[in-house]
Structure 1
C-alpha cells in the first residue's frame, strides 16, 4: 500500500531528500537513517541485478520484483523508476498496477523512445508529447489510491531545448502527473526558470560523479520551487569505490590486514542490519530440549 507521507510532505512544502538505493543492503542502510523517501534507481538496480547498462534491456518482469522487494523491506516510502512504463498504454497500466500492488509509493515514468537510455547520457530521444500525456492519463486512472503518486519525467531538454521541456512538463501536469521531473537542466538559471514556469511539485535529479545538472542544496532547490531531490548514484558510486579499494588491497597484499580504519563495516553490525538477532531469538524460543540427543 502506498504511504501517504510523501503526499502530505508535498502539501506541507516539506522538502524531501531521497538517497538512491539499488539492492537490499543499500535499502536497509538508508531505511534506518530517517529519510522521508528512498529512490530506487533504475541504473543501480539494473547494474546490481543484471550487470548490464540501463539502456532498455531490463524488462518489467526484471524490475517489478526488485522494486516491490525494496518497498516491502523498508519502512520508508519508496519512489521507483519505471522507465517508459515498459511499452505502450496497456503496458503502462500493467506497470502501475504491479508497482502499486508491490507497495511502491511513487512511480517515475519518462517520455523517451524505446529502448530508453539512462538520463545524463547522450543520444536520448523522446516520443511525441501527446503520446506521453496519454501514458500519464492511463497511469493516473490505473492506480487504486491517490497516495500512489505519478512522477512524469521528460528528457526533452537535451535534444529539443528547455522551452520544449517546460512545455512538456506543463502538459504532463495537466494530464494528471502529481510531480514533474525535467531531466538534465544544465544551469542554475535553467532550474530557476523551470521552478517559475511549472505549477507543480518538482523533482531535481542530483547525479554525483559527473552529471549534466549542477548539484544544489535543498535550501536553494526549495527557493527555486522544487519539492524533491534524488541522489540516485550516490550509493552505488560509494560502494564501487569502497570495493575497488578493498579488492585492490587484497590483490596486492594477499590478505585483508592493513586496510585503513573505517574501510570495512563491523561484521556484528552487519548481522544486526540483516536481521540475524531475530533469527537467533527464534531459534532460542523454539529449541527442543532433546535436540542434542
Structure 2
C-alpha cells in the first residue's frame, strides 16, 4: 500500500500526479515510480467512450473504472467526480459509491451540469452557496477521514478572479481538504492564489498541454506554494499522435517494419502486466 495521500500532501514539495483512465495506464504510472494517480474524467471520456469532456460519462461508469483500477494498484487514487453528478443528495451517493470502489480522494467542481472541460469556453457555475452545501454533503458521506474531498472552482473564467478567490475561501471554510482554482490566466494570479491559500491548505493545479496554464514545471508550482500538480491528459496526448503515425504507416505500406524498433513485444506486455505471477498463483490451486 502506498503512503496515504494526506501525508504526501503534507510534504514540502509539489507532488506530480499523472492522469490515468484504465488498468494499463495505472500500471504504467505505478511502475514509473509515481506516488499517486489521478483518474481524469476527461481522459476516461476520451479513451473509453471516444467523446469530449462534456459531462457525458455517468457516475456508474466512473465507479466501475475506479474499481477496475483499484484492483490493479494500491497507489493513492484521486478521482474526478465532476459536479458530483447532481445536487447535494446525489453527491452523498456519489461519494459513498466512489469511496467503496476504492477512491482515496474525490475532486468536485462547481460547474453547472452538464459540465465541460475546465479549459473550454462556455462554462457555467452554480452559486457558491449551493457548492458549499455539496461540500458538506460530501464530507458527511465519506466513511473515512482518510478519504479527502477536493473542491474546485471554475468561476475565474466565468465571473472573474475575485469571485473565484471568494469561492475558494468559502469552500475551504466549508471543510474541503484541498482547493483547486481552475485555469488561472497569469503567473501573477497564481502568485496571489499561493499567497492567500498555499500555507493553509494544499493547492491543486492542472498542467494541460494546450491549456491555459501560465506555468509548466513542478519547480514553478512549488515556488508558488502549490502542492498537487495534475498532468491529467499527458499520457493520451502522447499516445494519440503515436497511434496516428502507426496507423498511417500501416495504411500506407501494409506493414510496420519501419516502426518495429519503437514497439513493445507481446511477451514484454505480458511481463509488464504480471502474467508470470498469475501463472504461478494458478499453480497453487492445482491438486492431484
TM over 0.5: yes
Aligned-partner Cα distance in 2 for 1:77–1:285: 30
> Could you tell me whether the CA contact under 8 Å between 2:21 and 2:39 is conserved in 1?
yes
Cα distance, 1:35 vs structure 2 = 1.1
Partner of 2:152: 153
SS at match of 2:258: coil
Partner of 1:137: 136
Partner of 2:41: 42
SS at match of 1:25: helix
Cα distance, 1:168 vs structure 2 = 0.6
> Could you tell me whether the CA contact under 8 Å between 2:2 and 2:74 is conserved in 1?
no
CA offset digits 1:184-243 (Å, max 9, x no partner):
0011111111111223210010001x1011233212211211110000010111111111
Cα distance, 1:55 vs structure 2 = 0.8
Distance verdict in 2 for CA 1:103–1:131, change over 3 Å: same
Aligned-partner Cα distance in 2 for 1:94–1:143: 10
Partner of 2:274: 275
Taking structure 2 as the reference length, the TM-score comes to 0.94
SS at match of 2:179: strand
Distance verdict in 2 for CA 1:4–1:174, change over 3 Å: farther
Gaps in structure 2 of 5+ consecutive residues: none
Aligned-partner Cα distance in 2 for 1:185–1:277: 47
SS at match of 1:258: helix
Aligned-partner Cα distance in 1 for 2:229–2:269: 28
Partner of 1:247: 247
Cα distance, 1:278 vs structure 2 = 2.1
Partner of 1:203: 204
> Are 1:125 and 2:162 counterparts?
no
Cα distance, 1:4 vs structure 2 = 5.9
Aligned-partner Cα distance in 1 for 2:130–2:243: 43
Cα distance, 1:159 vs structure 2 = 1.3
Cα distance, 1:285 vs structure 2 = 5.3
> Are 1:56 and 2:55 counterparts?
yes
Aligned-partner Cα distance in 1 for 2:98–2:218: 28
SS at match of 2:38: strand
Cα distance, 1:25 vs structure 2 = 1.2
> Are 1:185 and 2:184 counterparts?
yes
Partner of 1:237: 237
> Could you tell me whether the CA contact under 8 Å between 1:4 and 1:147 is conserved in 2?
no
CA offset digits 1:88-129 (Å, max 9, x no partner):
111100111111111111100000001101110000000000
Report which stretch shifted further, 195-204 or 225-234.
Answer: 195-204
> Could you tell me whether the CA contact under 8 Å between 2:105 and 2:148 is conserved in 1?
yes
> Are 1:6 and 2:5 counterparts?
yes
Gaps in structure 1 of 5+ consecutive residues: none
